[in-house]
Amino acid sequence: MSRIGKMEITLPQGVELAVSAGVVKVKGPKGSLEQALIERVGVEIEGQTVKVTRVSEDRRSRAFHGLMRALIANMVTGVSEGFAKTLVINGIGYKANVAGKVLNLALGYSHPIAYPIPEGIVITVNREIVKVEGVDKQLVGAVAADIRAFRQVEPYKGKGIKYIDEHVIRKAGKAGK
């Protein structure tokens, strides 16, 4: 039995979960999300608890059991609390600002970078701190990774964009004579 898949999901106050036509829909105070249900997995709703079951004991069903439970749990957490990733911009002249639905970045290139903010994502900038927030965990992580990929941290001076909890191993420069 999958250790992740057999755990029950408790729905917080104000969160509704419904399954219809092979789609799991979760609605909460921060928004709503949908996920296609894998046919090898079933969902049972009993009051404020949700249990994910598998249809058969074959290898693929066991593989999808924990995955589907984790996806549903992330949807419940997203619509009730939300997800956030924080990035830090480090470097002389490196800066970011939000103008409407576009994140403008100046990262030492010969041109500014205009990153269109996807629907469902809120980006706030406070000096060198960029905070990416939303209800979809996958989308928040993907947007943060896209922003970080514009200028990854280099190991000599530490210039670039990194996650706030990321540790960059610094290298020693050239040894002088």
Dist CA 100 CA 77 (whole Å): 27
Q: What is the pTM of this model?
A: 0.89
Q: Please tell me the predicted confidence (pLDDT) of residue 176.
A: 74
Domain ranges of the chain: 9-80, 83-163
pLDDT number for residue 127 = 84
pLDDT value at 55 more than 90: no
Q: What is the pLDDT of residues 76-130, one digit of tens each?
A: 999 999 999 999 999 999 999 999 999 999 999 999 999 999 999 999 999 899 9
* Class of 9-80 in CATH: alpha beta
Strands of 9-10's sheet in order across:
9-10, 49-54, 41-46
Number of C-alpha atoms within 13 angstroms, CB side, residue 57? 1
Q: In what order do the strands lie in the sheet with 160-163?
A: 121-126, 129-134, 83-90, 160-163
CATH fold match for the domains 9-80 and 83-163: yes
Q: Are 43 and 8 in contact (CB under 8 A)?
A: no
CATH 3.10.20.340 fits 83-163, yes or no: no
How high is the pLDDT of residue 1? Answer: 54
Q: Which pLDDT does position 100 carry in this prediction? A: 92
